[in-house]
Amino acid sequence: MTTPRPGRLTAAIGGLAVAGLSVALALPAAAAGSTLQAAASESGRYFGTAIAANRLSDSTYTTIANREFNMITAENEMKMDATEPSQNQFSYGNGDRIVSWARQNGKQVRGHALAWHSQQPGWMQNMSGTSLRNAMLNHVTQVATHYKGQIYAWDVVNEAFADGSSGGRRDSNLQRTGNDWIEAAFRAARAADPAAKLCYNDYNTDNWSHAKTQGVYNMVRDFKSRGVPIDCVGFQAHFNSGNPVPSNYDTTLRNFAALGVDVQITELDIEGSGSSQAQQYQGVVQACLSVSRCTGITVWGVRDSDSWRASGTPLLFDGSGNKKAAYTSVLNQLNAGGTTTPNPTPTTPAPTPTTPPPTGGGSCTATYSEGQKWSDRFNGTVTIRANTNISGWQSTVTVRNPQRIIATWNGSPTWDSSGNVMTMRPSGSGALSAGQTTSFGFTVQHGGNWTWPSLTCTAS
């Protein structure tokens, strides 16, 4: 995890700390993020990427991924063929590798994908009828159970609608088991991992006037009216000159959100180069930022050379890892903000936290103060006070399951293997004279647990 509001803000706070002031916390809203995740965090959103397990040994790749992104999708490693290569024999090695890399670095994970007509294992491709339906439901249950508690949102069903003018379902072996296969998959996923948001994910659903978009919209409306457990809709957003970013994208996102679901851009890539590519990226970011329930954006890979359609150079970093014009336009648009604030009020009143803030002893003290609260997450600030002259400090912040820290600022965090304990160290010098204070902040995705984190402070 890197710091959402570094650079200018860190410098500003350092200056204030030296002057002995403690008003630094009013500043973050005005600060510009210098990475994609930092800039997206300013409006409570995430910025993610797809990660391929076989690239985790490439340090250029992991350095960019760790610095820029705070939501991770396995590009192929959690798909049906990868996780159940033989019936009832599950294989989680590569998926687990990606999840543990993400968690060690304080990132969240989108699960992709539990049920899909494509990338099925051979044994499943040959099945039909009740045995296929049962095998699919077993797959959903097993995989969602394996990753239970570690997934922000699952793409439960992927690409189930037909292209073209029909607006209906795509023919597939799964569809032939009966039209209710999608809701059956969602119910199985909810039972297996009640904390994960459950999404329907598809492509060519970006333009509000397309029949496919309307077909998916009608399904989601029907699911909400009948209580089928669906929480979000994913828009893959694979664009090129034949399928450009639609000018009504914000309308599409807003109309889906009005059904009572979150919307997410899940696999964004846009073929092209230079300013025209940059402009289209900007349009997608703008559309998401204009819809309060658009909770985040994921690009489908790190560098152009990592892309599934590398020849179209569709990503934000070139093959050498340099930032492209598209990167700058995305960052600037994230920093410019949107026309609405995401999740401006908690959907349920935030209960009073159940644990009072503990403090550290010794020659420094850590004190917790509440920040903004949303329905799914809250911000907190830790003020470090030197009780004597100290040359440095470190502070642990322990959250309780299913809580996860999803963003931090004004410090350098490291994580234990459980993902529950973050150790924060100062980004620069940690020297403070007696009575001086400094502070750092973080966002907790609470999963319904509003308990305040516990703190320690150790001085050196």
Residue nearest to ligand XIL (CB): 308
Measure the N-to-C terminal CA separation of the chain; round to a whole number of Å: 24
Residue closer to ligand XIL (CB basis): 49 or 158: 158
Q: Which of 76, 145, 290, 341 binds ligand XIL (CB under 6 A)?
A: 76
Residue closer to ligand XIL (CB basis): 235 or 368: 235
Which of positions 266-285 make contact with ligand XIL (CB under 6 A)? 267
CA atoms within 13 A on the CB side of 38: 28
Q: Taking the complex as a whole, how short is the minimal distance between the CB of residue 199 and ligand XIL, in angstroms?
A: 11
Is residue 267 annotated as part of the catalytic site, yes or no?
Answer: yes
Is residue 159 annotated as part of the catalytic site, yes or no?
Answer: yes
Q: What radius of gyration do the chain's Cα atoms show?
A: 22
Instruction: Give the integer Cα–Cα distance in Å for 66 and 253.
Output: 28
Residue closer to ligand XIL (CB basis): 118 or 418: 118
Q: Taking the complex as a whole, how short is the minimal distance between the CB of residue 117 and ligand XIL, in angstroms?
A: 11
Instruction: Give the integer Cα–Cα distance in Å for 427 and 436.
Output: 17
Name the residue among 326, 248, 261 with its Cα closest to residue 293. 261
- 33-36 contacts at long range (C-beta below 8 A, 24 or more positions apart): 33/4, 33/5, 33/331, 33/334, 33/335, 34/6, 34/7, 34/8, 34/331, 35/2, 35/4, 35/6, 35/67, 35/68, 35/331, 36/68, 36/69, 36/316, 36/327, 36/330, 36/331, 36/334
Q: Which of 158, 204, 213, 329 binds ligand XIL (CB under 6 A)?
A: 158
Q: Taking the complex as a whole, how short is the minimal distance between the CB of residue 384 and ligand XIL, in angstroms?
A: 44
What is the pairing mode between strands 108-116 and 71-74?
A: parallel
For residues 381 and 443, the answer to whether their CB atoms sit within 8 Å is no
Mention every residue, 6+ apart, whose C-beta is less than 8 A from residue 457.
359, 360, 362, 364, 365, 366, 384, 393, 394, 395
Strands (E), 53-131: 71-74, 108-116
Residue closer to ligand XIL (CB basis): 75 or 376: 75
β-pair partners for 355? none
Q: Does 83 bind ligand XIL (CB under 6 A)?
A: no
CB atoms inside a 10 Å sphere around CB 86: 10
β-pair partners for 425? 412
Q: Does 236 bind ligand XIL (CB under 6 A)?
A: yes
**3-state SS class at 293:** coil
Q: Taking the complex as a whole, how short is the minimal distance between the CB of residue 158 and ligand XIL, in angstroms?
A: 5
Catalytic residue, from 68, 84, 267, 271: name it: 267
Q: Does 213 bind ligand XIL (CB under 6 A)?
A: no
Residue closer to ligand XIL (CB basis): 52 or 405: 52
Q: Taking the complex as a whole, how short is the minimal distance between the CB of residue 75 and ligand XIL, in angstroms?
A: 5
Which of positions 248-267 make contact with ligand XIL (CB under 6 A)? 267
Number of shown-chain residues binding ligand XIL (CB under 6 A): 6
Q: Taking the complex as a whole, how short is the minimal distance between the CB of residue 76 and ligand XIL, in angstroms?
A: 5
Name the residue among 401, 309, 346 with its Cα closest to residue 103. 401
β-pair partners for 393? 459
Residue closer to ligand XIL (CB basis): 90 or 308: 308
For residues 299 and 50, the answer to whether their CB atoms sit within 8 Å is yes
Q: Taking the complex as a whole, how short is the minimal distance between the CB of residue 163 and ligand XIL, in angstroms?
A: 13
Q: Does 75 bind ligand XIL (CB under 6 A)?
A: yes
Q: Taking the complex as a whole, how short is the minimal distance between the CB of residue 347 and ligand XIL, in angstroms?
A: 29
**3-state SS class at 374:** coil
Residue closer to ligand XIL (CB basis): 110 or 373: 110
Residue closer to ligand XIL (CB basis): 308 or 415: 308
Q: Does 308 bind ligand XIL (CB under 6 A)?
A: yes
Phi-psi region of 302 (alpha: psi -120 to 50; beta: other; left: phi over 0): alpha
Catalytic residue, from 84, 159, 183, 271: name it: 159
Q: Would you tell me which residues interact with ligand XIL (CB under 6 A)?
A: 75-76, 158, 236, 267, 308
Q: Which residues are catalytic?
A: 159, 267
